[in-house]
Amino acid sequence: MASHCNMEGNERQAFVDGLIQANRHWTAQGTVATYIPELGKQQPDLLGISICSVDGNQWHAGDWQAPFTVQSISKVVTFIGALLDNDYDTLTKTISVAPTADGFNSIVNLETKNKHRPLNAMINSGAIASIALVKGADMEARFQRVFAMMKAMAGRETLQVNEAVYQSEKRTGDRNRALAYYMKSTGIVTGDVEELLDAYFRLCSVEVNCQDISVMAAVLASDGVSPLTGESIFDHQTARIVKAVMTTCGMYDGSGEFAVEVGMPGKSGVGGGIMAVSPRRMGIGVMGPALDPKGNSLGGWKLLQRLSQACDLSIF
C-alpha cells in the first residue's frame, strides 16, 4: 500500500488523477457555506489536491489551482504566532488545548466551561483570542505579523485578502462579534473589539489554492522548515504543539472521526479547504467547497481518507 506514495512521474500523476475521479461524486452530497453570502457563490462540484513532500517535490490533480479563501485554516497560523510570542504556560491561561464536541462558533462553551477561556485555538473564539496574544504595536501590526507568517509558510509573497469575502464576513459576522464581546466582558481579550474582529475577518479572507496550503502543511511536516527554501520559519516545539492541537481539534466536532478515518493532523475551513500533515513526509492541501453538516469539505475528507489508506499515512 505504501508503495503508492513512492511512485514517480506519470505513475504518480495517474494515481492522484485517479483519486480525484474516484471521489468527485462526493461533492454532490455536500452544500456550500451560505451563512457568509459570498461563499455561497462557490462552485460546489470543484475538487482539487496538491501534495508537497518535505524535500520540496510537488504534484497536483483536479481543480488544484482554483482560488478559495483560507477561512479557518488561518487559525493554524494565528496559533503559531501566539505560541512564538508567548510561553506555553502563559498562553494556556487564555486559551486551552482541549477538544470540543460543540460547533466551531459555540457560545455556550465560553459561558459554562473552562473558566470562560476558549477550549482551543482551532475554534472561532480561540482564534480571536490568539490574535490578541500576537505581539504588535497595534492591531494592524498583529494582523501583518500573522499575514507575513502565512506568506512565508506558503512560499508566496503575493497572497492577498479577497475583498469581497472580507466585506461579506464583516457584514454578517454577528456570531463572532458575540463571542468577542463576551470574551471582553470576562477579561479574556482587551482593547478595541471591532479592530480585533477586523483582523480576524481579513485573515480568514486570504485567498489561496491547494498548492499554497500543501506547502504550509509541509512546513509543519518538517517541524518548521520550508520545503522550498530550507529556511527555518519556526521551531520544532511550536510545530509539535500545533500538530497535536490540529489532531485533536482541527476538524471541529468531527475531529474524532477524522482521526479514525484519515489519521493525520488536519485543519479545515468553510471555504472548502483542508490542510493535512504527514509528519516528516509531506503536506497535503485539498479543496472542495461542498461541506458536510459540521463544516468540513466532504469531497476533500474522502480524498484524504483514500490517500491515507493508499499510502499508509495515519499516525496511529
- pLDDT (tens digit per residue) in 154-180: 999 999 999 999 999 999 999 999 999
Alpha helices (H) along the chain: 9-23, 74-85, 88-91, 108-112, 124-133, 139-154, 163-172, 174-185, 193-204, 210-221, 236-249, 255-261, 298-311
- The average pLDDT across 7-17 equals 85
- Residue 22 domain flag: yes
What pLDDT, on the 0 to 100 scale, is given for residue 2?
47
Q: Which residues neighbour 60 within 8 Å (Cβ) at sequence distance 6 or greater?
A: 16, 48, 49, 50, 51, 210, 211
- Residue 316 domain flag: no
- Residue 12 domain flag: yes
Q: What is the side-by-side order of every strand in the sheet holding 68-69?
A: 68-69, 206-208, 160-161
Residue 100: pLDDT band by 50, 70, 90 thresholds?
Answer: low
- pLDDT (tens digit per residue) in 275-309: 999 999 999 999 999 999 999 999 999 999 999 99
Phi-psi region of 131 (alpha: psi -120 to 50; beta: other; left: phi over 0): alpha
Question: Parallel, antiparallel, or unpaired: how do β-strands 58-62 and 48-53 relate?
Answer: antiparallel
Residues 34 and 128 placed together within one structural domain of the fold: no
- Residue 300 domain flag: yes
| Residues of the chain above pLDDT 90, percent | 84
- pLDDT (tens digit per residue) in 178-204: 999 999 999 999 999 999 999 999 999
What pLDDT, on the 0 to 100 scale, is given for residue 99?
74
Residue 106: pLDDT band by 50, 70, 90 thresholds?
Answer: low
Please say if the pLDDT value at position 12 is more than 90: no
Q: Which of 220, 221, 200, 242 is nearest to 84 (CA)?
A: 242
- pLDDT (tens digit per residue) in 42-72: 999 999 999 999 999 999 999 999 999 999 9
- Nearest-Å Rg of the Cα atoms of the chain is 18
* Residue where a domain stops, chosen among 159, 187, 204: 204
Instruction: Spell out a b/e string for 205-230, using b for 16 or more CB atoms within 10 Å of the CB, else e.
Output: bbbbbbbbbbbbbbbbbbbbbbbeee
Q: Which residue range is the domain that position 13 belongs to? A: 2-68+208-311
Please say if the pLDDT value at position 216 is more than 80: yes
Please say if the pLDDT value at position 1 is more than 60: no
Residue 166 burial class via C-beta count within 10 angstroms: exposed 0-12, middle 13-18, buried 19 and up: buried
DSSP state of 31: B
* Residue where a domain stops, chosen among 172, 204, 236: 204
CA distances (Å), origin 129, targets 96, 150, 178: 11, 18, 13
Average pLDDT over the chain reads 92
Helix H or strand E encompassing 276? strand 273-278
- Provide the 10 A C-beta neighbour count for residue 292: 20
* Residue where a domain stops, chosen among 151, 184, 204: 204
- What's the total number of domains in the chain? 2
**Separation between Cα atoms, residue 35 and residue 302, nearest integer Å:** 24
Residues 55 and 93 placed together within one structural domain of the fold: no
Residue 291, all three cell numbers: 461541506
Are 287 and 210 in contact by the 8 Å Cβ rule? The answer is yes
Q: What are phi and psi of 178, to 5 degrees?
A: -60, -45
CATH number of 196's domain: 3.40.710.10
Residues 229 and 288 placed together within one structural domain of the fold: yes
- List, by residue number, the catalytic residues: 72, 75, 200, 252, 270
Q: Name all contacts of 185-190 with Cβ < 8 Å and 24+ positions apart.
A: 186/110, 186/116, 187/116, 188/94, 188/116, 188/117, 188/118, 188/129, 189/128, 189/129, 189/132, 190/132
